[in-house]
Amino acid sequence: MRTSGPLRLIGQELARFTLPQDHAPRSPITTDCTACGACCAAPDIHALNKPLGVPCTHLGPDQGCGHLCATYATRPSVCRNYQPDWVCGEVAPLPTLNARTRRFLEIYGLQAD
């Protein structure tokens, strides 16, 4: 995964990942995707049979901030349609994929199984 980001949360997933009402965004500036891998690891993605908090099987190794999608050319539409937003500013600067995943889940008030 790189460029515009892998995931767009739709239907049931969108409802689950709606930002809590009382949450104040702390990174209002949206930047380009840095391929940090958080949105390939944190959400549950039904199209990929991927559980919450578990990295997608197509996600490459953590190299600081620069994960690659091994199936980028044929990744599903849920990945193609995802757009970076302020959450990227919260998670991408963190040093490891585990830290980025934990922060992503924390923002949405979720815990991995």
Interface with ligand SF4 (CB under 6 A): 1, 5-7, 33-40, 45, 48, 56, 58-59, 69, 71, 75, 79, 84, 88, 91-92
| Nearest one of 78, 7, 73 to 39, comparing CA atoms | 7
CB closer to ligand SF4, 20 vs 49 = 49
Alpha carbons 79 and 22: distance in angstroms, whole number = 28
Query: Which run of H or of E encompasses 90?
Result: helix 86-91
Q: Residue 95 and residue 113: Cα distance in Å, rounded?
A: 23
Q: Degrees (nearest 5) of the Cα angle 81, 54, 97? A: 80
Q: How far is the CB of 46 from ligand SF4 (least distance, A)?
A: 12
Shortest Å, Cβ 28 to ligand SF4: 15
From the CB of 21, what's the least distance to ligand SF4, in Å? 22
Closer Cβ to ligand SF4, 53 or 84, answer by number: 84
